[in-house]
Structure 1
């Protein structure tokens, strides 16, 4: 995520490529992610201060991309959550009574992550003019908060997809392929809470591209 460094040592020997700072929704096909791929090609190794300098140099594009990837995508997710609720509430009312609030919470978490990104970027841009080192430190903190909310762990999203898929499986509402895929993705998202399995968020995100388009 923005300003994020991998778990462990904080230095420029363990960078996080900007093109990986995307929550694991279907953002790989999202216009915001396309901005990163087409228009932004940052160096792979950026320490916190240089990350802020890169942000300043590409402020408009980066904030536009993050708004699309987080805030707009979360609103689309909310529509999908409510649509699936209407579709499955008569099939498995108890499961959907649990799943739908989790889906709404998940969408809210993603929106919050985007707002932290946008607000935090404005803070560090202003701070950089006065104290670049402090701006880099604040940017790291913003990245940690954003990563915790927006994709470093996909527990909430995993539980939601698992419950929806089990409900759809019971009612034979979605295709068998989507149902089994959803169960697998749900378990993968839940497993991402284990630090050693944090890379599973990439599997979760890629699988969601298929699941979202199929279930939507």
Structure 2
């Protein structure tokens, strides 16, 4: 028979667990305060930033407002010019005929395809390369003879299609440019005019970002 004295010395698993939980919470609080004090915002990144956005990953307020989700309006601060002729934009999917397709991918929301700090498949897109098949699976399964047998990720990997602007492979464009050489004598990028709304990068202020203020 175990004496009362020995029974009292036996550690209580509940108290051990509670002590461990409290210790972890204290460490997290200390880490959080230290990050605030030293303005080490990279410590709060939930994952890797895409290559395209890595330039300003330390400026959280460039994309984030407090703890709110990133909005389309935020993305347009930088991408408005290149999205001016978006072929898959609101003009198309505002049509109720395509409402069912929006249940598969809400393409009216930038972050449906371009969510940050998660594993990327390239081009700033986190969805798998066969993402086009959510709506266009029939094209490789008999609806379009020229595409029979193509792989599901072919739209992405073959380099033919750009989700936001595929005018360059439309039949109208091809007919208009059939007499043009395959390559221009001097390849040139089209002029892209971008009007910025900020004259300088936002000043880092971790306290404002986490407490709801705007930088």
Structures share fold, TM-score greater than 0.5: no
- Higher gyration radius (CA): 2
Higher helix share: 1
